[in-house]
Structure 1
Amino acid sequence: MLEIRRESAEVRVGIIGSGFIARIHARASRQAGARLAAVADVDEEAALQAGRRFGAERAFGSADALIESGLVDVVHVCTPNHLHAPLALKAIEAGLAVICEKPLATDAPTAVLMAGRAREAGLVAAVPFAYRFHAMVREARARLADLGRVSLIQGSYLQDWLLKSSDDNWRVDPEKGGPGRTIGDIGSHWFDLIEFVTGDRITKLCAQTSVVVADRVHSGPVLTEDLATVQFATASGALGSVAVSQVAPGRKNRLFFEISGASGSFAFDQESPEQLWLGGREGSQLLVRDPMTLSEAAAPYSPLPAGHPQGFHDCFDAFVADTYATISGEHREGLPTFEDGARAALLTDAALRSAREGGWVTC
C-alpha cells in the first residue's frame, strides 16, 4: 500500500493580502492542518472581512502589525508584486518562515538578495511554483532518463483574461506589477517547470515581446508586454522555444510543454493534468494518473484514487503542506525556494533585456 503524506505539525500562519490568491493560500493552510492565526490588509475592514472568509483568528490593518505580533511562525505574502520584497524581507528579519507569491521581486538583483537573506538566516522561504506538484509532472521528471539525450523543449503558457481594453488589473501597471508582466507572471512558471523537470539550466535566450492592447480603460497606455516568444538553449545542448500570452482568445490557463529526446518524448498540458503523453517511434500512449502504477516520486502527489480528477487546488495544497513539513524539520523533494524564485527573476530580466536590445543574452 502506498503511503500518502499530507499532515504536518501545527504551524501558526499569517496571511498578508485578502484577494483571490490569499484565499487559495488560506484554504491550503487549513488542509495542511495549520492554524490560521492572522490575516492582514492595508484596509482594516478588508482584513476583517477576509479574516471571516478565511477563518482566521485575528485581523490586522497592516502587514507590519502582523509580522511583529509574535502570533505567527510563517508569513504568506499575497500582495501586488511591488510589495513582495519589502514584506518578505521584513518577515525574514523578524525570524519568520515565508511563502511569497511570484514573482519574488520586480527585479532580479532584489530577488537574489532575498534568497541570500533567507539562506543566511537559515529560514524556510518558498515560492508557489505550484505546477511542480501535479502528479504527472513528477512522473515526467521521474521518466526523464527514458528519453535519452534531450534535444528539443517546446511549449506555451496561454491565457485570455487581458484580451480586451476593458480588462484591467494592477499587474498592467509596471510600478506595481513590475517591468515584465506576461513573462514574469506566467512565463516564470513555465521556465521553472522546465528546469525542474529536466534538471537542466537555460544558458542563453532570445526574446521578442508585443503589446497587443495598447490602451486599458483604467490604466491608460500599456507599457508591459501582452505576449512574448522566447528561443533558448540549455547547458546540455537542448534547443527550445516558448510562447506566453495573456491575450490568446479561448485559452484560460493552458500551460503546456513537450520534451523530445533520442528515444522518446513526453508532453503535459496543465488543463488536462490527469494525463501524460508518452511518444515513441513505434507508437504513443496516454498515461493516466493512477497512484497504484505511478513512480515512487509521483505517488505521494496522487492522494485520490484513479478516476477522481485532481487539479490546481490539490497542487497548491501539496505545495503548502510540503512547505510546512519543511518548517517542521522534514525534507520534501522539489520544494521551490527563494533560490528558485531568484532564478525565475534572472530569466525574466534576461528575456526583457533581449527583447529591448535585440539578440541573444546569456543567463
Structure 2
Amino acid sequence: MTDGHDQNAAATSGGLTRRDGSAAGARLRVAIVGGGFMAEVHSRAARAARAELVGIASSSPERSAAAAERLGIERAYGSLDELLADDSIDVVHVTTPNAVHAEQASAVLAAGKDVVCEKPLATTVSDAEALVAAAEGRTATVPFVYRFHPLVREARSRFASGQAGRVLTINASYLQDWLLAAGDDNWRVDAQQGGRSRAFADIGSHLVDLVEFVSGDRVSRVSATKRTVFAERASHAGITTEDAVAVVMETRSGALGTLMVSQVAPGRKNRLFLEIAGSEESVAFDQEQPETLWVGRRKGSQVIPRDADQLSEDAARLCVVPSGHPQGYQDAFNAFIADSYAAVAGENPDGLPRFSDGLRAVRITDAVIDSAESGTWIEMGTNE
C-alpha cells in the first residue's frame, strides 16, 4: 500500500478447507476447462483466492499443453474426461464456447465436483433447468461479476433499505465496438457455437442481471427488436445472431425500462451503464468509471466515491484497496471467485450468482429474442 491507510478486509478464500474436510486449511484444488481469454481471467482470480491451480484441459491435448504453458498451470489434461477422473480436484471452471457449457458443466457435477460455469449457462432454457436440478446440494456459480463492484452493492443497498424509494424507471445500456466492421469476426457470431442469441446472451445477460440485482425488482414482460448488421464476416456467412438489440420492459412492481445492447457502437469498449430512478433518489453506475456512483435527488444530488468509510457494509467489504487507488474488472472477478470458494467451504455469501441466476438470464434472453422475432410482447412467468 502506498499511503498506509487502513482498509476493510476484502472477500478472500485463503485457507479454506476442502469439501471433504481433509487437511484443515488446505488450499482448494482447481482445474480449468478452456484455454482462451476467459481462462486467463479465471486463472488470475483463482490464484488471488489462494487456490491451487492443478490443471487445464482445452479442445485437444496440444491446445491443453499450450494453455498450461501460457498460464503457468501445473498439468495439461488430454481431455475433460481425464480431468474429471482426477479425484483430487475440488472445483472446475468451465470457460469454453457457449454451446458446450451445459454438457461440460453437467459432466463436472456428475463427477461430484463443484463448478464455476461461464455465461450463458446454456443456450436453451431446458438445458439450463436441467443444470439447476443437477446442481442441487453443490456449489455451482455463474460469473455475473459486475455485481462485485463495490458501488454496485452501494446502489443495491439504497433500494433494499428503502432509501431510494420504489422503482419508477430504468435506463440501461451495454455497448461495445469490437464487432463494428465486417472484417471483425469471432466464434460467437456462429449460432452453432454461441446459440441463437449473441449480443444479448453475451452482454445483455450481464445488464439485465444487474438491473434485477440492484433494483430488487423482476422483469415481467419485454418487447424487443434486433438487428444483424453484417450477415457475412471474415470467416462466417449466413449469420443470424444479432449485433444489436433494443428492449422495452416492464417490471413486476410496475416500473418501466429500456435496455440497449450493441457490439457495433464506435468508441464504446465495454460501457455498461445503469440508471435506476426511485421515488426518492436515482442511482447511476458506469462500469468504465467504477470508482463513483451518482445519486440524484430533487435537491442535493451527489457523487459518492468508492470509499469504504462512506459505503454500506456489503459495499465496503469489497473495497480491497484504499479509496483513490482504482479497482476494476479483475478485482470484481476476483471477489466473485473468492465468494464462490467460500460457498464451497460452506459459507453463504450474499449476492453470489448461482446456477438459478444463470437460468434466469437464459429465460430472459429467450423472451427477448422471441419478442424480436414475433413482434409481440413476451410475458415472463410469475414463478420465474
Sort the TM-score into its range (normalised by shorter chain): over 0.9
Quick check: 1:117 aligned with 2:134? Answer: yes
Quick check: 1:99 aligned with 2:104? Answer: no
* CA deviation profile, 1:44-75 (whole Å, cap 9, x unmatched): 12211211222222111211211122231111
Q: Could you tell me which amino acid in structure 1 is paired with residue 256 of structure 2? A: L
**Aligned counterparts of 2:66 and 2:225: Cα–Cα separation in 1:** 42
The worse-fitting range, judged by mean Cα deviation, of 276-285 and 316-325 is 276-285
Verify the 8 A CA contact 1:276 1:286 in the aligned structure 2.
yes
Quick check: 1:340 aligned with 2:340? Answer: no
Verify the 8 A CA contact 2:11 2:339 in the aligned structure 1.
no
Task: Note the C-alpha offset of 1:291.
Answer: 1.4
Verify the 8 A CA contact 2:11 2:335 in the aligned structure 1.
no
- Return the match for 1:138 from 145, 153, 166: 153
Q: Could you tell me which amino acid in structure 2 is paired with residue 123 of structure 1? A: R
**Aligned counterparts of 2:202 and 2:13: Cα–Cα separation in 1:** 30
Alignment of 1:162-311 (within 5 A): 162-311=179-328
Q: Could you tell me which amino acid in structure 2 is paired with residue 6 of structure 1? A: T
Residue 19 of structure 2 is matched in structure 1 by none
Q: Could you tell me which amino acid in structure 1 is paired with residue 50 of structure 2? A: G
**Aligned counterparts of 1:327 and 1:196: Cα–Cα separation in 2:** 22
Quick check: 1:81 aligned with 2:87? Answer: no
Task: Note the C-alpha offset of 1:213.
Answer: 1.8
Verify the 8 A CA contact 1:180 1:352 in the aligned structure 2.
yes
For 2:163, what is the secondary structure of its paired residue? helix
Structure 1: any 5+ residue segments left out of the alignment? none
Residue 11 of structure 2 is matched in structure 1 by 5
**Aligned counterparts of 2:181 and 2:11: Cα–Cα separation in 1:** 43
**What is the aligned-residue RMSD (CA, Å)?**
1.0
Task: Note the C-alpha offset of 1:112.
Answer: 1.3
For 1:299, what is the secondary structure of its paired residue? helix
Q: Could you tell me which amino acid in structure 2 is paired with residue 128 of structure 1? A: P
**Aligned counterparts of 2:200 and 2:374: Cα–Cα separation in 1:** 16
**Aligned counterparts of 1:82 and 1:142: Cα–Cα separation in 2:** 35
**Aligned counterparts of 1:52 and 1:40: Cα–Cα separation in 2:** 12
For 1:277, what is the secondary structure of its paired residue? strand
Structure 2: any 5+ residue segments left out of the alignment? 1-5, 17-26
Quick check: 1:330 aligned with 2:347? Answer: yes
**Aligned counterparts of 2:187 and 2:358: Cα–Cα separation in 1:** 21
Verify the 8 A CA contact 1:163 1:213 in the aligned structure 2.
no
Residue 107 of structure 2 is matched in structure 1 by 90
For 1:283, what is the secondary structure of its paired residue? coil
Residue 108 of structure 1 is matched in structure 2 by 125
Task: Note the C-alpha offset of 1:221.
Answer: 2.5
**Aligned counterparts of 2:309 and 2:50: Cα–Cα separation in 1:** 26
- Return the match for 1:316 from 324, 333, 342: 333
The worse-fitting range, judged by mean Cα deviation, of 99-108 and 5-14 is 5-14
* CA deviation profile, 1:311-362 (whole Å, cap 9, x unmatched): 0010000000100011011121100000000000000000011011111101
Quick check: 1:18 aligned with 2:35? Answer: yes
**Aligned counterparts of 2:10 and 2:173: Cα–Cα separation in 1:** 32
For 2:223, what is the secondary structure of its paired residue? strand
TM superposition score normalised by structure 1? 0.98
For 2:304, what is the secondary structure of its paired residue? strand
Task: Note the C-alpha offset of 1:36.
Answer: 0.4
Which runs of 4 or more aligned residues in structure 1 lie more than 4 Å from their structure 2 counterparts after TM superposition? none
For 1:222, what is the secondary structure of its paired residue? coil
**Aligned counterparts of 1:294 and 1:263: Cα–Cα separation in 2:** 18
For 2:64, what is the secondary structure of its paired residue? helix
Q: Could you tell me which amino acid in structure 2 is paired with residue 139 of structure 1? A: E
Aligned-pair identity in percent equals 50
